[in-house]
Amino acid sequence: MESSEPCTIRELEDGTHAVLFVVVQSAEAAATRGGQPFLKLELSDRTGRLRARRWDCTSDEVAGARPGTVVKVGGPYSVHAKYGPQLIVERIRAAREEEYDLATLLDGPPRSAEQMEADLRALLDTVQDDHLRALLDALLADGSPVWDRFRRAPAAKHYHQAYRHGLLEHCLTVAQGVSAMAATFPGIDRDVAVAGALLHDIGKLEAYTEDPLAIDLTDAGRLQGEIPLGYYRVRRAIEDIPGFPPDRAQAVLHVILAHHGALEHGSPVLPATREATLVHMIDNLGGRLGSFDRLEKSLPDGAVWSGFDRALGGGAWFADRAAA
């Protein structure tokens, strides 16, 4: 392997020969027009993600580049005018545990899980409706069958909060935003809106895998989708609560079904209540702002613009970096 010191994805410079310890996020075996095998890779560490190619790969390299595997790679890095940043992998092998620190490979939220859990418990205490509180306790109380998984789960595969504790971070921030905005606009049932915000993405517990090194959709996530999975989980919990008012059940379930805001984005219905509209808007805002966090982490020193980002539909500018 190369003798140069390993760096992070964020530290890569155009035209240099790089050595990195990274996680394989995806690996696709393909062939050139001439029939030569190669690997299309997506690699990651805590600072970002990187497309890579391994030409003339061996069958052992294909078998060893499984998603979730930590590998050591080396090769020239360049920023192509058309195709963007890319690493041409000349060497790849499985990394030994003593060679890397897992904390440098896994992204995570800026706040600790303990602090976010305390904030969530404080928010739950403000829900006054007894039936909604019983529903939230059934799903999110410490020691519930769901809570440990909810606390660990990611919020996405790539675009925002795609890391351990990401779902807790995302649902909490959306619910806090909804709680604040509910006091600003008249006619909003705050308890319904907060409960819907806390539960809107609970289907992701079944839709995504638990492996923090390689987040991917499960079979259920691909075949059913996160919204139906969340709807049925919450509906089953409601049916187990004696005397749960049908109108309250319908209000919360509508928030879950409508939170993507558009049929083409996966919602089976459009937001038709104030509460569902508010949750959708704050959820969309949280996801877009989460994309800024993701992009800024991957920017090299001195850069103030990101490249094109599909989630934002363009590049992101970071004014604080420009001022510095």
Q: Does 295 score more than 60 pLDDT?
A: yes
Range 134-155 average pLDDT: 94
What are the φ and ψ backbone dihedral angles of 134, each rounded to 5 degrees? -65, -40
> Residue 207's closest CA among 178, 190, 232, 239?
232
pTM for the whole thing?
0.79
> Residue 226's closest CA among 202, 210, 250?
202
DSSP state of 98: G
Cβ within 8 Å of residue 186, ≥6 positions away? none
C-beta of residue 254 within 8 angstroms of C-beta of residue 280 = no
Range 238-262 average pLDDT: 97
| Sign of CA pseudo-dihedral 262, 263, 266, 271 | positive
pLDDT at 323: 66
Altogether, the residues listed in the chain come to a count of 324
CA distance 22 to 71: 6
Q: Which amino acid is at 134?
A: A
Range with lowest mean pLDDT among 35-39, 73-77, 126-130, 151-155: 35-39
Of the pLDDT bands very low, low, confident and very high (cuts 50, 70, 90), residue 62 is: confident
C-beta of residue 276 within 8 angstroms of C-beta of residue 260 = no
Provide the 10 A C-beta neighbour count for residue 257: 20
Q: Does 1 score more than 70 pLDDT?
A: no
Of the pLDDT bands very low, low, confident and very high (cuts 50, 70, 90), residue 159 is: low
Q: Which two tokens stand for residue 191?
A: 């308890």
Provide the 10 A C-beta neighbour count for residue 211: 11
Range 173-189 average pLDDT: 95
- The percent of residues in the chain predicted with pLDDT above 70, rounded, is 97
Provide the 10 A C-beta neighbour count for residue 32: 10
Q: Which two tokens stand for residue 282?
A: 């704050």
Long-range contacts formed by 79-84: CB under 8 A, 24+ apart: 79/14, 84/51, 84/307
Of the pLDDT bands very low, low, confident and very high (cuts 50, 70, 90), residue 220 is: very high
